[in-house]
């Protein structure tokens, strides 16, 4: 929108959060609360974004500029109310014309389309002030919209300053306002702090505009939950559930099967392909991407992962991993950052991987640790294999070539290379490179010690079985004999 300035208020301390983290930085749906607001604001394509910071300004300001590098930061040294914050913002922005939108930084359900509709109505009506309002059955804590007998907006009265009659009003101010910039600049200098909290209220601009005979109006939003803020962790969890319900519903309507929406969590930046299936107990977090026809879950957590089309991931925890098309992972797999599984490959039951590239069609089926490794196309890693990548000082890398076949219970002591088409025998500890096509064997020849069970484990079920007797039969010393009936042998 042309000549539009948006001010985002993010200076408050949020003491009711009882947290070392600033309120607007608390995450919900994979983004900070202020991150959601900035996403909605950017959808308007404003000319300028000004963020007012105060408490923990270093952390909050850095986070905002990471998300919106061109945003201006205005520092409110002392929090003296919303009008004071907006005055600080305009001082930082310099001469401002056109439309100014003021939004709170703790309303994570806010959507860009709603802001655009609000701003468009404000400009079309050529108002001095517009208020984004909503109707609430329980309006406690919100400023009330007071209207004249003709229905015009007369004032916004804060909860602590409202009469009993005014507290009964169900139409509330969301705290999101639109202004003519020239009017706002002039009105800010006329706002006092004679109220219950001793603060400078931005809502006093309504009274100033009315006294000047200027137009004041309201834009009532149908989905009032978009304007809800979170002052404590209970409210934050409530908004998180609402946001997740909306995200899950949107993906189902776009062709994704979600078997149990109540136990499925999907962050705001996740992308899902058509005909993907998400099974119960699944969390898709961060910037995870799931391809078409893939099946994820049940009981799976993926953070910042990429899952290829047609892949299958079951009972798995993964972070910063790439799973190729048609590949299978799990159950009970742990994919750590840097894991890349090729198309049609497999990471199986009780396998942990880290910084590992596993080629097309390669398999690590069972009970293995693969760290700092590269496994070639079509290779199969035997059960119980350990890639020993750490020598106590530094990490080293293991390379296994194409179409190799390694035995069970192997240990690869990095750095080591196993050539294309090579093999390793069961129980082998590989300490030196294995040439292509060779078989590595490190264990000695087998030696059998005859009658060991009867000599070393006499009187046990093992010894009885070895002698061909029933496991429960008692062995009697031939020199003692069988005791007479009714007597016991000591």
CB neighbours (10 Å) of residue 388? Answer: 18
- The DSSP 8-state label assigned to residue 457 in this structure reads S
Per the structure block, which two tokens stand in for 4? Answer: 């539009």
Q: Are 358 and 347 in contact (CB under 8 A)?
A: yes
Q: At what angle do helices 181-188 and 82-93 cross, to 10 degrees?
A: 120
CB neighbours (10 Å) of residue 67? Answer: 16
Helix or strand (DSSP H, E) at 138: none
- The DSSP 8-state label assigned to residue 159 in this structure reads G
Calpha distance 79→10 (Å, rounded) = 11
Phi and psi at residue 210, to the nearest 5°: -65, -45
**Looking only at Cα atoms, what is the longest distance across the chain?**
122
Alpha-carbon distances of 340 from 191, 305, 347, rounded to whole Å: 60, 10, 10
Alpha-carbon radius of gyration of the chain: 34
Alpha-carbon distances of 6 from 9, 59, 66, 352, 465, rounded to whole Å: 10, 21, 18, 47, 84
Beta bridge partners of 295: 277, 312
Bridge pairing between strands 72-75 and 48-53:
parallel
- The DSSP 8-state label assigned to residue 482 in this structure reads P
Active site amino acids? 366
Beta bridge partners of 403: none
Q: Are 7 and 101 in contact (CB under 8 A)?
A: yes
Number of helical H runs and strand E runs in the chain? 10, 38
Q: Tell me the HSE value of 300 on the side-chain side, using a 13 A CA sphere.
A: 27
Q: What is the DSSP string of 2-63?
A: TTEEEEEEE----GGG-SSS-GGG-EETTEEHHHHHHHHHHTT--SEEEEEEBTBHHHHHHH
């Amino acid at each position: 929108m042309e000549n539009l300035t948006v001010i985002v208020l993010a200076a408050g301390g949020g003491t009711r959060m009882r947290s070392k983290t600033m309120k607007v930085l608390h995450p919900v749906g994979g983004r900070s609360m202020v991150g959601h607001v900035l996403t909605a604001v950017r959808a308007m394509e404003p000319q300028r974004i000004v963020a007012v910071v105060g408490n923990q300004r270093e952390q909050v300001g850095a986070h905002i500029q990471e998300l919106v590098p061109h945003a201006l930061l205005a520092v409110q040294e002392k929090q003296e109310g919303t009008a004071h914050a907006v005055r600080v913002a305009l001082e930082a922005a310099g001469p401002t014309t056109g439309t100014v939108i003021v939004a709170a930084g703790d309303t994570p359900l806010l959507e860009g389309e709603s802001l655009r509709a609000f701003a468009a109505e404000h400009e079309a009506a050529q108002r001095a002030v517009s208020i984004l309002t909503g109707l609430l059955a329980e309006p406690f804590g919100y400023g009330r919209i007071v209207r004249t007998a003709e229905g015009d907006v007369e004032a916004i009265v804060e909860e602590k300053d409202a009469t009993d009659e005014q507290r009964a009003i169900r139409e509330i101010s969301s705290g999101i306002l639109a202004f003519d910039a020239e009017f706002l600049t002039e009105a800010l200098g006329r706002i006092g702090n004679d109220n219950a909290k001793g603060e400078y209220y931005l809502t006093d601009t309504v009274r100033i505009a009315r006294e000047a005979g200027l137009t004041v109006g309201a834009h009532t939003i149908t989905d009032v939950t978009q304007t809800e803020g979170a002052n404590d962790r209970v409210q934050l969890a409530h908004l998180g559930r609402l946001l997740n319900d909306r995200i899950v519903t949107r993906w189902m309507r776009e062709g994704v099967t979600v078997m149990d929406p109540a136990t499925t969590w999907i962050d705001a930046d996740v992308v899902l392909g058509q005909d993907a299936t998400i099974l119960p107990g699944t969390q898709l977090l961060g910037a995870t991407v799931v391809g078409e026809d893939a099946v994820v879950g049940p009981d799976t957590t993926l953070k910042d992962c990429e899952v290829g089309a047609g892949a299958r991931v079951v009972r798995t925890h993964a972070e910063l991993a790439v799973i190729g098309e048609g590949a299978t992972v799990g159950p009970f797999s742990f994919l750590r950052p840097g894991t890349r599984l090729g198309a049609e490959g497999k990471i199986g039951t009780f396998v942990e991987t880290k910084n590992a590239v596993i080629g097309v069609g390669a398999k690590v089926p069972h009970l293995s640790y693969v760290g700092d490794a590269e496994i070639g196309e079509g290779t199969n890693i035997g059960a119980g294999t350990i890639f020993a990548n750490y020598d106590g000082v530094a990490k080293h890398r293991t390379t296994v070539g194409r179409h190799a076949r390694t035995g069970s219970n192997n240990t690869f002591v990095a750095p080591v290379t196993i050539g294309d088409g090579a093999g390793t025998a069961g129980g082998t500890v590989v300490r030196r490179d294995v040439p292509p096509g060779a078989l590595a064997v490190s264990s000695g020849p087998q030696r059998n010690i005859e009658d060991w069970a009867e000599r070393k484990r006499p009187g046990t079920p093992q010894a009885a079985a070895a002698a061909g007797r029933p496991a429960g039969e008692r062995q009697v010393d031939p020199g003692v004999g069988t005791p007479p009936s009714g007597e016991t042998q000591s």
